[in-house]
Every structure is written in structure tokens, then in C-alpha cells.
Amino acid sequence: MTTISTYTVPVAEGKYPTVFHREFLVEQRADPTYTVQPQSTTIPPPTQSALLLKGVGEKYTLVTDHAIPTISKKDEILVKIQAVGLNPVDWKGPAYNFGIPALPWINGRDLAGTVIQVNDENSRVHVGDKVLVPSTDYRDIRKAAFQEYAVATHFNAARIPSSSDVHASASLGVAFVASVLALGVSLGLDFRGSRCPGPDLQDVLEGLDVEGIPGDIRGECFASVAEGERLRRGDWVAIWGASTTTGYITLQLAKLAGLHVVCVADIARHGARLHQLGADVLVDRQDTERAVDIIRGVTKGKLRYAVDIVGAETAGLLERTLDDTIREDGSHAHLLGLTGLPKERKPGVVYHTVPIKLFHTSPVVGEKMVSWLERLLETGALQLPEIVRHEGGLSSINESLEVLRQGSVSGKRIVVDLGL
Ligand SMILES: NC(=O)c1ccc[n+]([C@@H]2O[C@H](COP(=O)([O-])OP(=O)(O)OC[C@H]3O[C@@H](n4cnc5c(N)ncnc54)[C@H](OP(=O)(O)O)[C@@H]3O)[C@@H](O)[C@H]2O)c1
């Protein structure tokens, strides 16, 4: 027999009930895809360990008496963090002073763990679910990954199927969000026809109130790609920096949607993996002039879409591979830069950035994306990045970020186990 006991306590604002499920059993779920641990969920203690950034250019400082974040909105959940995936921004932000809203601050963008609290009985995730959370909302310190407990929203949390490793699942969140928004919003690719169908985000956006989308991403969301210029099945796209975690995901999503993909990377190191993930053409990154020539040759000088995941310089190289004529139908070439774009602009090229905050500012978009991610993981349609697992918890993150900064872990994501 299945038992469940719940009790309700008021939250600070007294607006919504907080529901803690004290006991729950596997049999409660008809769907065996997600394993619910037969455990009691403990109400968290008032304080936790966290890594604080106290000054620009400084290392993170471990503190053990930081308040556990509290949920305050109906959509929110509390996650006990088990694994943290490290992103380049985790060391670049403090080093170059960006993405730090105030000091001291907590960083960390990718986490996986167990839901221990929900604020809405109709939440799409439940207490006990294992989830991965891409924490793109870095201005909300409660959502940062470098702490033992983090707040998230249920529409930004993807349940991890029991077939997937929790640590490996901490590696791909931000990369997945960036890839989906780059291809699906900025370049307009409709994922409905994919092997493992996903959303048509352009269609989803049409149904949204423009005023509800932050002003600085409205252009990219609503006016970046004309209907007739949308990236479509059968089109070619070039990815510079294909061995990045974001590149691996972008390649896989592009192939699922039926695109032809040229990948630029260190082929000796990463060619086998890129080939296995379906790359149509592999171009070595060492001789950049030759790489430009090869891409132009392979695409017969007609390439119209390119994604750079390295920086402004390589985005400039990719720009040279594009057919930048404005065609009779008024269409352009499209260049998207995740880490920078060339300063000079050509009239025949539309330049794109990725509207990353759409993921957490639009519940509809966020939910479509995490629901698709769940299906991609359940069906095995998306391969998780390879990881290097670092033990040692929060106190070891400074050391792990130094390893990341030096680039010695190449083609893999470092995931730190929090030992909880
Ligand atoms: N705008 C956004 O919202 C957003 C979102 C996600 C990511 N990003 C940015 O995208 C970039 C990639 O992020 P990530 O987390 O996916 O990276 P990552 O997994 O840490 O990338 C590591 C890989 O980058 C490759 N690489 C380094 N320099 C390269 C070059 N000159 N040409 C080609 N490949 C090169 C390395 O290849 P080797 O092994 O050959 O050295 C290594 O395999 C970062 O700059 C990140 O900040 C931006």
C-alpha cells in the first residue's frame, strides 16, 4: 500500500502553502522513468555552507553559516544540491568583473540534486525528484549553484530519468539552454520535426505578450529572423568551437532537426567524438585560414548560417565563410556569437546573440524547454557530455576552476560532487 503524509506550513508572505512530503514511495508514480527515493525528506537546517565571492579578482571563500535560501513565489522549489557543473563564466566573471550584481555574491550556473520542497501542489516537479537546473537567473542569489541548497522554479528544472547519471546531468544545463535558444529563437529552427520532437519557439513567442519579455532581448526574440529566413531541415550550419560543451549539444540538436553541420575544432583531439555525434564535415581549427577555405569549399560558397562559441576573433573568421549577399527574396546570412561578434558589420549579415534570460523570464518557454530536455534524456536522443568528476565539495571549487581556466580538461565538463 502506498502512504503519503503531507503537512502545510505558512511561508513568509503567507500567500501560498509550502508542501513538504514526509514520506513517499516509488509505487506512487505510474511512470517508472523517474526514480523517487524511498526516503524521508528532512526540513533543511537554517544555515548551510556556501562559496562567497567577496571581491573582484578574488578566489571564492567558503563560509559555513550562510542562510539557506527560502522560496517565496508559487512557482519555486528548493533543491538540495548533489553535483555542480562548472562553466567558464564561473572563473571569467570574477576575473573580468562581469555577471556579478553585488558583493559578496554566490556564483554557479549548473546544478543537479533532489527537490526537497515545493510551493505549489500542482508543480510539475515533486519532492524527491532528481532534477538538473540551469541557473541562468544569476541576479537571484538564491538560485546560485555554489551552495548546498538552491531555489529554482519548476519550469526551469528538468527531471533526471533514472537511466541518467546525476553528476553527468549537472554538466549540460546552461549549454542546452544556450543551444536551444540560439538555434530555436535566434535562428528560428522549428524543433517539432526533430527525431524526438521539441518546441517551435518562434511559434511559442508569437503567443506571448511582448511587454512581458525583458526589453534588452525583445529584438532577438521577436525580430531577429524573418519567417522566410528561418533555419530549416536540410540547411547547412557551421559551428566554430564544436568541442565545447555547448558545441556538442548544438551539434546534436542540429542533427536531430535534420541540418548538415560543419564542425571546427581540434580534430586530433575531438574528431572521433564529433563524428560519432553526427558531424557532416570536420575542420581542424589550428590553421584558421585553411579552415575558412575548407568551409567555403564544402558549402560551395553558399553558407547562410554560422554559430561561434569561442570569441569575436573566430566569429570574424566564420563571417568570412558566409555568403553575405542579400538575395532577391531579401534574405540574409546569419551569424550568431555566444562569446562575441565582429565589430564591423556587413549589410548582408544579420548578427545574433543568444537571449539566454528568456529561459527564466518566460515560464512558458522555460517549461517547453525542460520538458523537451526530459524527453531527450529519457529516450537517449541526447548524449550527455563526458565529465571529469571532482570530489571534495564546495571547498575544492577554486582548485577545479583553476583546472578549467588552464584548459587541461578539454572536451569534457568538470562536475564537482558536493558529497551530500
Ligand atoms: N552567451 C551565453 O549566454 C553563453 C551561454 C553558454 C556558453 N557561453 C560561452 O560559450 C563558450 C563555451 O562555453 P562552454 O561551457 O560550452 O565551454 P567549454 O565546454 O568549457 O569549452 C571547452 C572547449 O573549448 C575549446 N576551445 C578553446 N579555444 C578554442 C578555439 N580557439 N577554437 C576552437 N575551440 C576552442 C577547447 O578545445 P581544445 O580542446 O581544442 O582546446 C575545449 O574543448 C564560453 O565562452 C561561454 O562563456 C555563452
Q: Is the distance from the beta carbon of residue 339 to the nearest atom of ligand 1 less than 6 Å?
A: yes
Count of alpha carbons within 13 angstroms of residue 169, beta-carbon side: 26
Question: Per DSSP, what are the bridge partners of residue 76?
Answer: 153
Residue 67 Cα to ligand 1 middle (Å): 33
CB 276 within 8 A of CB 349: no
CB 111 within 8 A of CB 87: no
What pLDDT, in 10s, does the model give residues 135-172? 999 999 999 999 999 999 999 999 999 999 999 999 99
pLDDT band at 17 (very low <50, low <70, confident <90, very high): very low
Q: Is the distance from the beta carbon of residue 357 to the nearest atom of ligand 1 less than 6 Å?
A: no
Give the pLDDT score at 121.
84
Report the chain's mean pLDDT, rounded to a whole number.
Answer: 91
What pLDDT, in 10s, does the model give residues 345-374? 999 999 999 999 999 999 999 999 999 999
Residue 204 Cα to ligand 1 middle (Å): 29
Give the pLDDT score at 347.
96
Residue 266 Cα to ligand 1 middle (Å): 12
Residue found under cell 528532512: 42
DSSP code of residue 60: E
pLDDT, greater one: 7 or 74? 74
Give the pLDDT score at 44.
76
Distance CA 50, CA 107 (A): 10
Domains delineated in the chain: 5-172+386-417 (3.90.180.10), 176-358 (3.40.50.720)
Measured by CA distance, the residue closest to atom 43 of ligand 1 is 411
Q: Is the distance from the beta carbon of residue 175 to the nearest atom of ligand 1 less than 6 Å?
A: yes
Give the pLDDT score at 23.
32
What pLDDT, in 10s, does the model give residues 108-121? 999 999 999 999 88
Q: Is the distance from the beta carbon of residue 269 to the nearest atom of ligand 1 less than 6 Å?
A: yes
Distance CA 94, CA 98 (A): 7
Question: Per DSSP, what are the bridge partners of residue 51?
Answer: 62
CA 251 to chain centre: 14
Residue 90 Cα to ligand 1 middle (Å): 13
